[in-house]
Amino acid sequence: MNIGDASLRSGLPAKTIRYYEEIGLLKPGRADNGYRDYSIKDLHGLRFLQRGRSLGFSVEECRQLLSLYNDKARESAEVKAIAQAKLVEVDRKIAELVGLRGALYHLVQNCHGDERPDCPIIDELSGEPSFQSS
């Protein structure tokens, strides 16, 4: 199948497919005319990569997972270790976002949002303490 068909069937843009080929994640065959010729196995690999990326795995993590996918003698412990590491990373990012949300919520709640120039949001962004006149 050509790259257009592979793109439609995998849900990946042709540009992404070419990139995956360029970095060695995919090695499609070539037709007599020199065009890329994607097999069903290539399509499975593309779908695998698409799902892996949608779960937040990096390109390098997808490379490892794809290698394990193609290795029928793999140990599932290797796959699980990669997924567990990603889960720890996701949990860390969620904790950071929760903290960020709390800080932004506090700033929004403490800003009067009126015609006065004093603003705790600007003060926080500038790193300057807010001074209130007595």
Mean pLDDT split into 10-residue runs, the chain, 134 residues: 95 96 93 90 95 96 96 95 97 98 94 89 83 50
Q: Distance (Å, rounded) from C-alpha 87 to C-alpha 90? A: 5
40-54 and 3-10 helices cross at what angle (nearest 10)? Answer: 40
d(CA 76, CA 68): 9
Per-residue model confidence (pLDDT) at position 129: 65
Q: State residue 85's pLDDT score.
A: 97
Cα 79 to Cα 126: distance, rounded to the nearest angstrom:
45
Report whether CATH 1.10.1660.10 matches the domain 1-72.
yes
